[in-house]
A = this chain, B = another copy of it.
Amino acid sequence: MAKKTVAVGIDIGGTNTVFGFVDRDGKILGEDKIKTTQYDEIEVFVAALYEKILVTSYKIGNGIELVGFGIGAPMGNINKGTIEHAAGLPWKGIVPLADTFKRHTDLPVIVTNDANAAAVGEMIYGGAKEMKNFVVITLGTGLGSGFVIDGKLVYGHDGFAGEIGHTAIRPGPSNRECGCGRKGCLETYVSATGLKRSLLKIMADSMQPSELRQYSFDELDAELIHDAAVRGDYIAKRAFTHTGNMLGFKLADVVAHTNPEAIFLFGGLALAKDLIFEPAKEFMEANLLSIYKGKVKLLASELSTQNAAVLGASSLVWSVKES
């Protein structure tokens, strides 16, 4: 019997690094993780990760043929295979991740950021299988984006295309400080953190009662706000509407740049469904130039949320192999 070809998808996060062996249909045959925070040196981290991958490979057994490694990481640069100045990771400066990995293997090693991996994942396994021009927006602690044009992920000249989380919501001063050192970036409004910040502002202005008034800023998270909104909490609903509106407003800009067929929302906040999609759709349509109105689909990602990051990372391998 012919061996089944599989790609390893690796998702490097601030706390854990998760990986999985994934077949061409997006089925995960085996997975495991290591603690990112335990490794101060990239060489030691990669060696430990590679060993764990080998162990998992033995467990899966003989029936597979490994074809490559796809790695999603914050500030992952697809042109150079590096991680560059990622604030949330233990390794500082420019980290030669692909080169370090290649000391252990001759197979292809592709590095990119989480949002680009999600975009390729949507094309390989998800709702964009038949699409050539689409955008994926990842809504987590921050906001990431990946652009596919003419069936290919857009890399950009320096390997850093698709950082729309760091476009400004308006010119001139804004009060919302961003982790990037500037103020008023889109992700300070549209992300799990942005939702919480908007909630506090609305709570400060409004006299309406809210079950969320009992929680501290540190205690609050997107899930608490979501659950309150579902129960009809006025302040929580307003926070979602504002977040969705700001997203929709900037999605109209995205459309005016590359005129995609669809925009997919991916990640925790996208699971709030209508709470985020309806206000986003409303403001996107209201701000679209007439030639685009009613033509751009706003869709939920079809990657299973639990393994989405690993799926996305693994999809890079198929994408390169098949292009």
CB-based closest 3 A-B pairs: A156-B259, A157-B261, A161-B259
How many copies of this chain sit in the oligomeric assembly?
2
Contact of A290 among B85, B152, B257 (CB under 8 A): B85
Q: Which residue of B lies closest to A169 (CB)?
A: B171
A163 and B289 form a contact (CB under 8 A) = yes
A-B contact pairs, 11 of them (CB 8 A): A84-B291, A147-B258, A154-B258, A158-B259, A158-B295, A164-B256, A167-B257, A170-B170, A180-B289, A181-B290, A253-B253
The answer to whether B167 and A252 touch across the interface, beta carbons within 8 angstroms, is yes
Contacts of A156 in B (CB 8 A): 133, 258-260
A172 to B249, CA, bound (A): 9
Known: A157-B259, A160-B292, A161-B258. 19 other contacts (CB 8 A): A132-B157, A133-B156, A147-B257, A156-B258, A156-B260, A157-B261, A160-B291, A162-B256, A163-B256, A164-B253, A168-B287, A169-B171, A170-B170, A171-B245, A180-B290, A253-B253, A254-B257, A257-B258, A258-B258
Q: How far is the CA of A6 from the CA of B259 in the complex (A)?
A: 32
Assess whether A310 is interfacial by the CB under 8 Å rule: no
Q: How far is the CB of A93 from chain B (nearest CB, A)?
A: 13
**Inter-chain contacts of A295 with B (CB < 8 A):** 157-158
Residues of B with C-beta under 8 A to A290: 85, 180-181
CB distance from A19 to the nearest CB of B (A): 26
Which residue on B lies nearest to A262, using beta carbons?
Answer: B157
Which residues 213-272 of A sit at the B interface, judged by CB distance below 8 A? Answer: 245-246, 249, 252-254, 256-261
In the complex, what residues of B have CB within 8 A of residue A253's CB?
A: 164, 167-168, 253
